[in-house]
Amino acid sequence: MMMSNISKTILALSATALAGCMTMTPMAGDGSNAISYVGGAPMYPAKTIVENASNSPEHTTLVAAVKAAGLVDTLTGPGPFTVFAPTNAAFTKLPAGTVESLLRPENKAMLQSVLTYHVVPGRLTAADLSSMIKAGGGQARLVTVQGATLTARKQGDKIILSDAKGGTSTVTQANVMQSNGVIHATDAVSLPG
């Protein structure tokens, strides 16, 4: 009987401890102040877009491009920004040599144009985007920092972006909250017209 009471106490304490851990470091992508994980790396809501992206093993190409384009100061600024962040795999879908060409100093302006095409002013969560799509009769036009438009629509429960060249990308992980905005990881690079 005594063992049973001890077991119950241990179980109760374990459940309390587990609940406390889950409250302190939840894995969520719901627009809250919870920590999200990208490629197994924690993305802290108190850090900037660049600080968190630099820790993501899935965004090393994007971070290298942001540095080459001279956009680090902009994306560590107050924002807020919504960034549709192509993963490393997304960059590999581009024609061979494209990334290398864009990273050359003489192509800095073109690289800046491509990268700022992935940035929308304001903090738009997946719920915000879904509401905008619904209000727009099935699509939302997002004016990017670059000045051109991305079109967002829903396909089932996924958000799909169409770029000026007719390409599409899918948001593969939404609502990675940052101190100066939100990141939505995408499976393709969007290209301005």
Domain ranges in the chain?
28-186
CB distance 44 to 52 below 8 Å: yes
Q: Which residue has the tokens 């100066």?
A: 180
Residue 139: predicted pLDDT: 96
Listed in sequence order, the DSSP H helices in the chain are 2-24, 49-55, 60-68, 72-76, 88-92, 98-102, 108-116, 126-135
Q: How far is CA 49 from CA 73, 143, 158, 172, 187, in A?
A: 11, 19, 23, 17, 18
Q: Which residue has the tokens 């940035």?
A: 119
Residue 61: predicted pLDDT: 87
The model's pTM: 0.78
The answer for 118, left when phi > 0, alpha when psi is -120 to 50, beta otherwise, is: alpha
Q: What are phi and psi of 65, to 5 degrees?
A: -70, -40
Query: How many alpha carbons lie under 13 Å from residue 35 in its C-beta half-sphere?
Result: 13
Residue 19: predicted pLDDT: 30
> Which CATH fold would you assign to the domain 28-186?
FAS1 domain (2.30.180)
Q: Would you write out the chain's pLDDT as a tens digit for each of its 193 residues?
A: 343 333 332 233 333 232 332 222 333 344 456 787 777 777 778 887 888 787 778 888 888 888 888 888 888 788 899 999 998 899 999 889 888 998 899 999 998 999 899 999 999 999 999 999 999 999 999 999 999 999 999 999 999 999 999 999 999 999 988 888 898 999 999 999 8
Residue 18: predicted pLDDT: 28
Residue 8: predicted pLDDT: 33
